[in-house]
Amino acid sequence: MFKIIIYFLLNSICLSFPLIAAAQDKNENDKLSCTARHLDTDKEVEVKIVSSIPGKKIATAQWPLGYPTIAIDNSAFAKLPKNAKHFIYYHECAHLKLMSNNEHEVDCESINLLVTRSHYSEMQVRKLVQALKQEFGWSKRWSNLLDCKNTG
């Protein structure tokens, strides 16, 4: 019971401070958002964003107490280019939506979300791939994003 109370207190504190880097770019009105299924109620709910411990992963998908949540290291996330932020956010959202650990499947769903929600063109997807390579190093994973269906 004590752990649950601590969780709710920490979650309330984390959510009371705006996560500007995660939720909205300074020069944009478009807020990044997504929905996923709550594990206990089976209803679609807005995904929560909470701060994570710096130095771990930039972002992770979680279901604390069944609630779909993205935990973001704000200091690392804020340093990324806008398109990389969007990709990472929608990547974690895709983990929650698909309930999948298949990284290629989740990467492709992230691209599909970028195309449908942020209207990314094929050229913007190519620029995203270049930004990811620059930020995280060369990886076939990034090149495989160009093979995802519905890319522009």
Chain-centre distance for alpha carbon 21: 12
Question: Does a structural domain hold residue 129?
Answer: yes
Q: How far apart are CA 116 and CA 136, in angstroms?
A: 25
Question: Does a structural domain hold residue 152?
Answer: no
**Residue 56 pLDDT exceeds 60:** yes
* Backbone angles phi and psi of 57, in degrees to 5: -95, 155
Question: Does a structural domain hold residue 69?
Answer: yes
For 74: left if phi > 0, alpha if psi spans -120 to 50, otherwise beta; the answer is alpha
Question: Does a structural domain hold residue 62?
Answer: yes
Give the pLDDT of residue 20: 36
What is the mean predicted confidence (pLDDT) over 32-40? 92
**Residue 24 pLDDT exceeds 60:** no
For residue 32, give the CATH number of its domain.
3.30.2010.10
Q: How many domains does the chain have?
A: 1
Helix (H) or strand (E) holding 124: helix 122-136
* Tokens (6 digits) for 57: 């992963």
**Residue 71 pLDDT exceeds 70:** yes
Question: Does a structural domain hold residue 48?
Answer: yes
Question: Does a structural domain hold residue 37?
Answer: yes
Question: Does a structural domain hold residue 113?
Answer: yes
Spatial neighbors of 46 by CB under 8 A, at least 6 apart, are 33, 34, 35
What is the mean predicted confidence (pLDDT) over 131-140? 93
Range of the domain at 130: 2-147
pTM here is 0.80
Average pLDDT of every residue of the chain: 82
